[in-house]
Amino acid sequence: MPPKLCGRCNKTVYPTEELKCLDKVWHKGCFKCQTCNMTLNMKNYKGYDKLPYCNAHYPQTKHTAVADTPESRRIAENTKIQSNIKYHAEYEKQKGKKITVADDPETQRVRHNMEVISNIAYHGDRERRSQMEMARPAEQVEAGRIRGGQPGRIADYDPAEQQQQYGGGGTPYSNRNSAGARQVYDSNVGRAHPVQQPAYDPQPPQQPYQPPPQQYQPPPPSQPQQPMVDKLSGKGMVCKAMYDYDAADNDEVSFRDGDLVIFCQPIDDGWMEGTVEKTGQRGMLPSNYVEVVKK
For residue 271, the domain's CATH number is 2.30.30.40
Residue type (1 letter), 225: Q
Least confident of 86-90, 111-115, 136-140: 136-140
Half-sphere exposure of residue 24: CA atoms within 13 angstroms, side-chain side:
19
CATH number for position 55: 2.10.110.10
Residue type (1 letter), 102: A
| pLDDT grade for 163, boundaries at 50, 70 and 90 | low
Around Cβ 277, how many Cβ atoms within 10 Å? 16
| pLDDT grade for 177, boundaries at 50, 70 and 90 | very low
- What Å distances lie between residue 10 and 24, 29, 163, CA to CA? 11, 13, 127
Q: Residue 237's domain spans which residues?
A: 230-294
Cα 242 from Cα 294, distance rounded (Å): 15
* Residue partners of 203: CB distance under 8 A and separation at least 6: none
Report pLDDT for 181.
Answer: 45
Alpha helices in 148-183 (DSSP H): 159-166
| pLDDT grade for 254, boundaries at 50, 70 and 90 | very high
Question: How many domains is the chain partitioned into structurally?
Answer: 2
In a domain, 215, yes or no: no
The pLDDT of residue 135 is above 80: no
Q: What is the mean pLDDT of residues 34-50?
A: 88
Instruction: Decide which of 10, 26, 59 is a domain's last residue.
Output: 59
Q: Which 8-state DSSP code applies to residue 219?
A: P
Instruction: Decide which of 59, 83, 106 is a domain's last residue.
Output: 59
In a domain, 262, yes or no: yes
In a domain, 194, yes or no: no
The pLDDT of residue 168 is above 70: no
In a domain, 30, yes or no: yes
Around Cβ 83, how many Cβ atoms within 10 Å? 10
Report pLDDT for 94.
Answer: 77
Least confident of 95-109, 158-172, 200-214, 267-281: 158-172
In a domain, 96, yes or no: no
The pLDDT of residue 270 is above 70: yes
Average pLDDT along the chain: 76
Cα 112 from Cα 84, distance rounded (Å): 38
In a domain, 18, yes or no: yes
Residue 57 · residue 33 · CB < 8 Å? yes
In a domain, 8, yes or no: yes
The pLDDT of residue 255 is above 90: yes
The pLDDT of residue 235 is above 90: no
Task: Tell me which of 1 and 27 has the higher pLDDT.
Answer: 27
In a domain, 44, yes or no: yes
Instruction: Decide which of 29, 44, 59 is a domain's last residue.
Output: 59
Report pLDDT for 273.
Answer: 92
